[in-house]
Amino acid sequence: MKKTIIEVAKELNLSPSTISKIVNGKGRISQETRERVLKYVQESGYVAMSSARILSSKKSWTIGVIYSDISLIGFEHPFFSRILQSFKDEVEKEGYEIVLIVSKLGNNEMTYLDWCRNKKVDGVLILMGNINNPNIQQLVASPIPVVSADIVMPNLYSVFSDDVMGVKLFIEYARKLGHKHLGIVTGPLTARSFYNRLDHFRMLMKEFHIPYEESDIYVADGFGFEHGYTIGKAIALNLHRPEIFLVTSDVIAFGVIRGLQDQGIHVPDDISIVGYDDIDFARHYVPSLTTIRQDTKEIGLHAARQLMELIANPTQKKQTIELIPVTLIERQTTKNID
């Protein structure tokens, strides 16, 4: 039995695209790796089959990833890095490798679409992006299969958390603890997730007939700990502050807690805080953070499977949103006041 490109790649611990480049005499591959692969395929009788398969399928076995880092944290971002890892694990099972899509190739400026065509990627994951970016708009409008774990656009399949469910869990939990005065801290409203969570907060507070003031809403200038710290200090100075806050990012929540503490306001004795994400550090923070857990593994898994389905069976693009359930994780930053 002649082996498939995926079987060869797994046995040699290489990607299918690397195997393809070597057997077709392309790409910058080390001489040691090239000789190892050529020796293997010669002994296994793979070459004839692999060449025919690559040419007939016209696939590169490569998936591009767009990460427009508006958070300025990079790939170390604890939320998006976990989605990417889950996505990567799933597509690699089927023989794909992932590459980062950039706007330059050598010294040449390129659009995302030109870059994808040049590299012949089979599909694209938008891990983080801006819907107003013309490069992203052009790519999504193209025939290339695209899914996103972040943004919503026409002709785009999007997978992310059910934020209506997340905000509702917070409100129900706050009422269960006996809190009547609820507030929210959100990040920059240029991010879809922060804008939507604030919008859902306003909608659900009215639906639950819970009065609130716009002064109960705080919008951070950025995505980091220091931006939350500034908000925490501001909340501490508000004598009519809410009894409990939903902070729509764990990283910002850590800053809010520290800002409150440095002003003599203790969590949870004086005020309760609920984060959003459940990043790994949330359980180790002191006090450990009560938070809305986003299932990053499922988001990455569903995005990967949907993209591979679109690659295998291209269809007319349409806007589709798949919502992944969230859960509330109770820890030490909240307190029952009944």
Give the CATH number, domain containing residue 214.
3.40.50.2300
Please tell me whether residues 140 and 74 are part of one structural domain: yes
pLDDT value of position 49:
46
Find the CATH number of the domain harbouring 27. Answer: 1.10.260
Residue 255 lies in a domain: yes
CB 129 within 8 A of CB 158: no
Residue 303, pLDDT score = 98
- Are 266 and 332 in contact, with CB atoms under 8 Å apart? no
Residue 314 domain-assigned (yes or no): yes
Structural domain boundaries, residue 26 = 5-57
Q: Is residue 331 part of a domain?
A: no
Domain-embedded: residue 334: no
Task: Tell whether 280 and 305 lie within a shared domain.
Answer: no
335 assigned to some structural domain: no
Measured from the Cβ of residue 31, the count of other Cβ atoms closer than 10 Å reads 7
User: Do residues 133 and 38 both lie within one domain?
Assistant: no
Q: Worst-scoring range by mean pLDDT, 71-80, 263-272, 293-302?
A: 71-80
Residue 66 lies in a domain: yes
For residue 220, is pLDDT > 60? Answer: yes
**Number of domains comprising the chain:** 3
pLDDT at 53 over 70: no
- pTM recorded for the entire structure: 0.82
Q: Kindly report which listed range (66-70, 92-96, 224-228, 230-234) carries the lowest average pLDDT score.
A: 66-70
In a domain, 332, yes or no: no
3 state DSSP class of 155 = coil
Task: Please state which of the ranges 32-46, 50-64, 187-201, 223-237 shows the lowest mean pLDDT.
Answer: 50-64
pLDDT digits (tens, 9 = 90+) for 98-152: 999 887 655 667 899 998 988 889 999 999 888 889 999 999 999 999 999 999 9
Same domain, 176 and 266: yes
Q: How far apart are CA 17 and CA 37, in angstroms?
A: 12
